[in-house]
Structure 1
Amino acid sequence: MSDIPAARALPPKESTLFKELLTLYETRQLKKGLKTADQILKKFPKHGETTCMKGLVLTHMGRREEGVDLVRKGVQLDLSSHICWHVYGLIHKGEKNYKEALKCYTQALRYDKENLNILRDAAQLQTQLRIFDGLVETRHTLLKIRPAMRQHWIALAVAYHLNGNLAEAKKVLEMYEATLKNVPDYDVEHSEALLYHIRLLEDMGEFNEALTMLDVNAKSRAIVDRTAIMEVRARLLSKLGSDEAEHAWRVLVEHNAECYDYYRGYLSNLGLTLGCQDATDASASKALSVLQEFATQIPRATAPRRLALTIASGDQFRELVKPYILSGLTKGIPSLFSDIKGLYQDQAKQQIIEEVALAARDQFSSAEPSSSASTDPTSYLWTLYFLAQHHSYLGRHPQALGILNSALDHTPTLPELHMFKGRVLKRAGDLFGGARCLEDARLLDGQDRFLNTKSAKYRLRAGIVEEAHALLGLFTKKDAPSPGADLEDMQSLLYLVEEADAHNRNGNFGPALKKYMAVNKVFDDFEDDQYDFHGYSLRKFTVNIYMNLLTWEDRLRSHPAYIKSALAASRASLFLIFVAVHDDPSIATAATATRQLTDAQKKAKSKAKKAAQKVLDDAKKAPAQANNNDDKGLEPVAKDDDPDGTKLLQCADPLEKATSLLKPLAKLADNDIEVWIATYDVAVRRKKYLQASKALARVAALDAEHPELHIRRVTFRQTVSALPEPPQVSGPILTEAVAKLLPDEVSLETFNSQYLQRHSTSAVAILAVAKVMVKLQTPPEQVEETLFTALDGSASLDIKTALAILAFLHTIKSPRADEFRTRCGEKFELSTVFKSASELAELRELAIKAPQSVPDKVEDIP
């Protein structure tokens, strides 16, 4: 007691109350805990530990600001108390401010070096922050304090492994295994530890030792995962070049004949690959014979027959693909085309597949029901479906629609036909027609969540946001504030990205930015969710999958879903909105103004408000009607203080926000040109010219002729040339970087005209040249003439580029914008995006109108 500071010491009664306070907090008896804390503070108002504990209790009672203030006050009252620092760390951890939490735990450990709870929390934080040097030290301390706990041995080995010291990790595992006695049979935790040891040996290149350990423990049944034993054994034998490897891989193939990785492993062991482009004729022939052998031995397996199609070519491909396609059509597999469309990279294979499908159509259409060789009539239907997919994939939309209409005449009640017709119309530029077709499909089965989601998605694509919300609300929680709020809570990336894109296309930057930021928050949550696994996985000894989790988390932002949602889904819409707000602050101001709505939009908005109010009214009644014994009711819904994203648009420094969003992508998606273009756009506006030049140099290394790079080469030289004086330190480096991108001896006009000559058939390049011409103050007539060359038959103009050119014509206030729109409408006959505003309003009404040709219920179909 003599070591306790006088300001911290409490009389016996209050000391007992403080211990009771700790227990009450741990058992979450918060109200009693608050009363107990007040009892102590009534006599000792400057007792720092009690002040901190009261603040911690208040934060869990929903009074967060008051609680945090008390915790800070308590730390100031007793800076040498490990309890105060621990509580302060818990507060930071609750706010997911892991760096500050770790600092607090480090301070706490200065005053209580062997506190198990603090050490465990510190270890988890160090893993979360990837501070592996400190993690090793912390795990060492935990092991010294509690050497009898098995998880501390494994945790130390994992810490060494993560820190790159595999030899020390191996020593720890060997010492741990030497201490084990009387391990029960079929101990899953021990089995996982042994598999982790074998994995470690494999990573170290000690394949013989790993194989010996695997065989010994497999025979003694110490390792209980039989599939893992077979996989690891086959992999180790291959790395050792053993003759037994072939048999090991064959056993795996027989164990699971649909696993592509097993076939790849078998072929790799023979020195063969599935990439026939790089293989010699002899190796391709041998690989093909191996796969055909497996297909003969395991006739029900589709994997070897599908993999054989990747390798085969010419007549051999024709012989193999015909039974594969006919089998899929006969069985009525809707995903058959998705399965084989990867073969379309080879034009010869495209032609063969088309010939086989056409022959199948003729065969199935001419089959007589009375003949002995008759086929199921649905085979003809699925053949038409396959052919429609084939033509649409190749851009032959009129042919695809003609085939789909024939199929719908044959069977009008198949949802897949309506769905794919909608996709064809969407690809052809008729977004409203696509939405109408998806609604036709949805009404064939109103209880199908997938059809409902697809219909809502196509409505969002068409910009019909409020009506899409009405559809989404059919399957979301009835007590949710709105369908969108429920889907955001469920982290539906599909919904968030599609609605953000819809708002962005409609010019509603605030709501668009809000949804894009919600996508970023989802991935932040993914990163935060790993925190609990740092302790859980080690307690449960699921070490191997835990190591895979950490690797996956390290590359989380390179996941295709994030790349698509945050960048590629709308040409880096998230970052470009921030950049646009910086360039034109009036965008943010305009977002707060009342928008001029059409009558249809006003009506839709009114309906949406009534529907939302009804949902809220039902939610208020739900607790009483659901369960009279439930006195908790519904949790209060946090109020959204920025429903339209206005505050996001009016943020103090949008460029800093854009920079923070780009940072992870620059590391994990360094081969994505759009990432570096966005990096340049932000850096040059922040006057970080060296960073901007590096971004352009990276784009040039990926694609020196990229249209966006062409524009920025010119603008960057103009920007640097306009500087009153180059930076003193980086001036020479910057000058050299600009010269590499665009030499000084080449005039900008010449550079632009030469680029047009090289890419005169590319509509995207023509648009880039026109943008540069505007930067060079070229007469508007010449800019317009250049843009109109994109309509020539020799130029590869698609709908997306045409819309971009039209938007640019409006930007420069060209009087020929309507002429360009009209000519695009003539060029893309199936498209509706080039219609006038009044025509689009009519199409919109038609898209949301309940169809008359489709029954309301499946039971109503005659």
Structure 2
Amino acid sequence: MSRIDLPQKENNLFQKLMKCYEQKQFKNGLRHAKAILSNPKCTDHGETLSMKGLILSAMNKREEALELARKGLSKNFRSGTCWHVYGLVLRAEKKYEEAIKAYSNAVKWENRNQLILKDLSHLQIQMRDYEAFKKSRLDLLTLRPTLRASWIGFAVANHLLGEHDTAFEVLEEFRTTQNKSDGQRSRDHDSDYENSEIIVYQAKILIEQKKHTRAIEFLEKNRAEILDIPHYHETLGDLRLILGENEQAEEHFTILVHRNPEKRVYFEKLAQAVEADADPLRINEFYDTMANVFSRSKLPLLIPLELVIGEIFTRRLEHYFKASLRKCLPNIHVTLRPIYSDAQKRNELEQLALRLCELLEKNQTMEEDGERESPACLVWLYHFLAQHFDFLKNYEMAMHYVNLALEHTPTITDLYVTKGRIYKHAGHIKYAAACLDEAQSLDTADRYLNCKCCRYLIRAGEVEKAEKMAEQFTRENTTVQENLKEMQVLWFQIECAQAYYEQGKYGLALRKCYEIENVFADVTEDQFDFHNYCMRKMTLGEYVEMLRWEDSVREQKYFQAAALIAVNIYIQIHDGTWNPETGGSTAAEANLSEAELKKLKSKKKKEALKKKKEDEKKKKEGAKRNTEPVKEDPLEPEKLLKEAQEKALEKAKEWCEWLETLSPNWLPGQVAAYELAKRRNRPFQQLRAVKRLINHHGLDNAAVHFTVCDWISQAKQTIAAVEDEVVSKVLTEGNDEIMNLTGDVTSYNKKYLSENKLSYQHRLQVALIAKTVEKSDDIETIIDGDFSTGSIDDYKQGIALSNCLKLREAAKSLFPLATEFGAEFDNPPRMLKEFDQINGHSIEN
């Protein structure tokens, strides 16, 4: 029975049912559906069953909704409405491929239904099926040629397919049909804005085609209709520079600089336009003029410091540095960071700062016979010197100056933050956390200090304390974990994931990784709402940029870090290097005594028992409130661990696919991809990862060396195990390319060592190959040499690999404050004493 076959009464009810769904009056809609279906003649009315399912889907009763949608479709297979509803229910379930098929079938039976075509086009662009999207938008344009969205959608479809000329002409034709005489021109601001956006979008299409001259002519022709003035001048200025029309470009960037003298790129492009970006004298003259005109802007004082040299640099640096000290700016080091890449400028800055420090300490002046300066100048100079020496990894000098600053003025929170940063870089994260705790206690209303302190506490292993501190800025009546997850605070989540990973709490670490992945999945899903919105609001350029950004959204650093942690966890569980009883590394536990192992197991059992009691308590509290039973958490740590132990490599593959496809240039991701492929016996993927590492990072890279040597050491055996001749041939050719660059492992490792003898990181990689691949015992001789470079982790790895006494002494010398190398302190910060008392351990431990 179709809709038109319904009796008059039921047909009227069906119309009300449709209206109730549109107005979100779901209870009334269900009542009308029940009234229709209660008639024995209409019990199997397919469209009513489908609409009832659609309403249930909107009420989050997904399973029942899907069942009704299927039932309605089975009762009326030729109904476009039933297919459309089925597609909507599938779309709500995020089954986009199946939903597209359902919409396509709906179009077969109702090929003039604009709503179905529009919904189908949104799904097609969501899945990036540009050809099908173009066809759907053309059908919509054919059906409603007077509708603005029809033209815009078809133009965007052509643009995304790279058919720029067609896209431009479609928009031009649309604008021609919309043009009115001056007397009839609409006074509606929204209409003017939309027309302006179309013009800007057309210019973008021309620029992507590199039709720069035509783009200039087009923009100038339509100047009166463009409302986005800064974008107009930016675009024309850039195009003029490309074409070498510097005089005209100067006019545009002069306007922009006067509009916003705090935007660096405007100054740089204006300097390029007046040809003052190469000659130091011209640069100096140009920025002097800019400094006089824009006396409140710091950029004309900062930018030339990166470009000029010699006496000009000395004069400008001294002027800027003294002015900043007199203004008591806390960010002097941050603003001068770009010049640190030049060793000569860095040394000159250090000498200037030390000279001024001596003058201020002696006479409280910055000139030999100058006026007395404010006492605050000295404290901020101490602050700068602390940051400066911290950057140079001279932690003792950095600590000296920050302590002088604290003695001078112990109430400045920035000093405690800097001191914490020094401790962090020096290898004492617990002291760092204590310093940030002190800073936060001085200003509890500062969100930045709160976040900074939380980050340091997490890195110190105090996740619970960090969560308690974060509660100060989270919503009431909800747990801090739920609120942070809802607010998508990714830095907090990834720090927790890393902390749990280092503590061996793999279930909790995986939970955090999946919570981060869910955020990126939500970002991908959320773009669905913008397909219609951007077409309607005419933000076309931003819409296209959003689509392109969404395609690479998982290249973002937080997702990469989460994926790497997850892959490493799954690999370690597969390799058996993680002990589920103690939650620790089996390699690390090999050196523990039986008593220590017993203590670890006991601690693990206590934690499990405590969690079990908490879960039971929550269930009882929920039962008392007569609430609905709590749904099973798909990210329960125990459940994630169980899945990891059952199918570790499959789960790792799901994460690693993102790294392989979206981050081919990211070194840690390709190393992880290689290690996973090795365990899954996928030689093609191994070879691909090795080639990517060589192509993007080169054979000289220390981190690449180990992976390359590991491949060439087992490549022959791996290829020999391949039965397919074609596959074996391709692998052999790829391996021969690498072997031509390297040779066998032993000779390549020796050659690599001789070429990189002065680098500790390179010697460390050679030693790792010698021990793991060549099974050599002469590790100490390989590592021995210059130890002036390397991070704390590098030295930890080297000490674990070798008992080289010189290496231990070098580590202590380079990182005298690092607890990893035996540093001790007599006078810890006040908050650290409380910190240790709370957690039940002593400073010495």
Corresponding residue to 2:289 among 288, 293, 301? 293
Corresponding residue to 1:727 among 723, 727, 733? 723
Q: CA deviation at 1:820?
A: 8.3
* Cα distance, 1:30–1:238 mapped onto 2, change above 3 Å: same
Equivalent in the alignment of 2:350: 354
Equivalent in the alignment of 1:813: none
CA distance in 2, matches of 1:592, 1:41: 61
Deviations 1:144-200 (A, max 9, x none): 222222232222222221121111112212211221233323422222222223333
CA distance in 2, matches of 1:380, 1:202: 52
Whether the 8 Å contact between 1:493 and 1:519 is mirrored in structure 2 is yes
Q: How many residues align?
A: 809
Equivalent in the alignment of 2:206: 201
Whether the 8 Å contact between 1:88 and 1:101 is mirrored in structure 2 is yes
CA distance in 1, matches of 2:627, 2:565: 37
Equivalent in the alignment of 2:518: 521
Aligned with 1:730: secondary structure?
helix
CA distance in 2, matches of 1:595, 1:35: 64
Corresponding residue to 2:10 among 14, 22, 25? 14
CA distance in 1, matches of 2:343, 2:734: 42
Equivalent in the alignment of 1:545: 542
Whether the 8 Å contact between 2:138 and 2:154 is mirrored in structure 1 is yes
Q: CA deviation at 1:806?
A: 4.9
* Cα distance, 1:732–1:194 mapped onto 2, change above 3 Å: closer
Report matched runs for 1:750-789 at 5 Å: 750-776=747-773, 778=775, 781-783=777-779, 785=780, 789=783
Corresponding residue to 1:741 among 738, 742, 745? 738
Equivalent in the alignment of 1:154: 152
* Further displaced range: 642-651 or 301-310: 642-651
Equivalent in the alignment of 1:169: 167
Equivalent in the alignment of 1:685: 679
Q: CA deviation at 1:240?
A: 4.5
Q: Does 1:31 align with 2:31?
A: no
Report matched runs for 1:315-394 at 5 Å: 315-367=311-363, 373-394=371-392
Aligned with 1:135: secondary structure?
helix
CA distance in 2, matches of 1:362, 1:578: 56
* Further displaced range: 693-702 or 577-586: 577-586
* Cα distance, 1:431–1:744 mapped onto 2, change above 3 Å: closer
Deviations 1:223-261 (A, max 9, x none): 223323322332343344444222222222222222122
* Further displaced range: 702-711 or 155-164: 702-711
Q: Does 1:848 align with 2:841?
A: no
Whichever residue aligns with residue 817 of structure 2, its letter is L
CA distance in 2, matches of 1:14, 1:642: 46
* Cα distance, 1:768–1:399 mapped onto 2, change above 3 Å: same
Q: CA deviation at 1:689?
A: 0.7
Q: CA deviation at 1:825?
A: 5.4
Q: Does 1:650 align with 2:643?
A: yes
Q: CA deviation at 1:498?
A: 0.7
Whether the 8 Å contact between 1:391 and 1:397 is mirrored in structure 2 is yes
CA distance in 1, matches of 2:741, 2:269: 54
Equivalent in the alignment of 2:817: 830
Report matched runs for 1:14-413 at 5 Å: 14-42=10-38, 43=40, 44-180=42-178, 181=180, 182-185=184-187, 186=189, 187-219=192-224, 222-242=225-245, 243-270=247-274, 283-367=279-363, 373-413=371-411
CA distance in 2, matches of 1:845, 1:718: 50
* Cα distance, 1:160–1:819 mapped onto 2, change above 3 Å: same
CA distance in 1, matches of 2:411, 2:292: 38
Q: CA deviation at 1:80?
A: 2.2
Corresponding residue to 1:706 among 701, 713, 719? 701
Whichever residue aligns with residue 832 of structure 1, its letter is T
CA distance in 1, matches of 2:620, 2:273: 65
* Cα distance, 1:464–1:761 mapped onto 2, change above 3 Å: farther
Q: Does 1:577 align with 2:569?
A: yes
Whether the 8 Å contact between 2:2 and 2:47 is mirrored in structure 1 is no
CA distance in 2, matches of 1:636, 1:289: 74
Q: CA deviation at 1:553?
A: 2.2
* Further displaced range: 323-332 or 489-498: 323-332
CA distance in 1, matches of 2:275, 2:790: 45
CA distance in 1, matches of 2:818, 2:328: 31
* Cα distance, 1:312–1:417 mapped onto 2, change above 3 Å: same
Deviations 1:774-826 (A, max 9, x none): 434636x544x358x45x554634311122345567xxxxxx69998899557
CA distance in 2, matches of 1:697, 1:414: 52
Q: CA deviation at 1:286?
A: 3.2
Give the aligned CA root-mean-square deviation in angstroms. Answer: 4.0
Aligned with 1:796: secondary structure?
coil
* Cα distance, 1:356–1:505 mapped onto 2, change above 3 Å: same
CA distance in 2, matches of 1:198, 1:504: 50
CA distance in 1, matches of 2:700, 2:558: 28
Q: CA deviation at 1:94?
A: 1.7
Unaligned runs of 5+ in 1: 274-278, 624-632, 810-815, 852-862
Aligned with 1:301: secondary structure?
coil
* Cα distance, 1:389–1:636 mapped onto 2, change above 3 Å: farther
Equivalent in the alignment of 2:590: none
Equivalent in the alignment of 1:800: 793
* Further displaced range: 336-345 or 819-828: 819-828
Q: CA deviation at 1:618?
A: 12
Whether the 8 Å contact between 2:3 and 2:47 is mirrored in structure 1 is no
Q: CA deviation at 1:104?
A: 1.9
Equivalent in the alignment of 1:464: 462
CA distance in 1, matches of 2:102, 2:134: 19
Q: Does 1:666 align with 2:669?
A: no
Deviations 1:296-353 (A, max 9, x none): 3322222222111111112221111111122222212222211111211100010111
* Cα distance, 1:808–1:656 mapped onto 2, change above 3 Å: farther
Corresponding residue to 1:496 among 490, 493, 498? 493
Report matched runs for 1:425-574 at 5 Å: 425-480=423-478, 482-563=479-560, 565-566=561-562, 572-574=564-566
Deviations 1:601-660 (A, max 9, x none): 999999999999999999999x9xxxxxxxxx9999865344326425624544344334
Identical columns (%):
30
Whether the 8 Å contact between 1:119 and 1:142 is mirrored in structure 2 is yes
* Cα distance, 1:562–1:586 mapped onto 2, change above 3 Å: closer
Whichever residue aligns with residue 677 of structure 1, its letter is V
CA distance in 2, matches of 1:57, 1:508: 43
Deviations 1:672-712 (A, max 9, x none): 22222122112222222122112102212222033443333
CA distance in 2, matches of 1:32, 1:817: 80
Whether the 8 Å contact between 1:47 and 1:74 is mirrored in structure 2 is yes
Whichever residue aligns with residue 659 of structure 1, its letter is K
Whether the 8 Å contact between 1:415 and 1:444 is mirrored in structure 2 is yes
Q: CA deviation at 1:458?
A: 0.4
* Cα distance, 1:843–1:56 mapped onto 2, change above 3 Å: farther
Q: CA deviation at 1:124?
A: 1.6
Unaligned runs of 5+ in 2: 586-596, 839-845
* Cα distance, 1:52–1:326 mapped onto 2, change above 3 Å: same
Whether the 8 Å contact between 1:510 and 1:591 is mirrored in structure 2 is no
Q: CA deviation at 1:477?
A: 1.8
CA distance in 2, matches of 1:793, 1:252: 52
Deviations 1:457-490 (A, max 9, x none): 101111111211211122212211x212211111
* Cα distance, 1:394–1:172 mapped onto 2, change above 3 Å: same
Whether the 8 Å contact between 2:203 and 2:215 is mirrored in structure 1 is yes
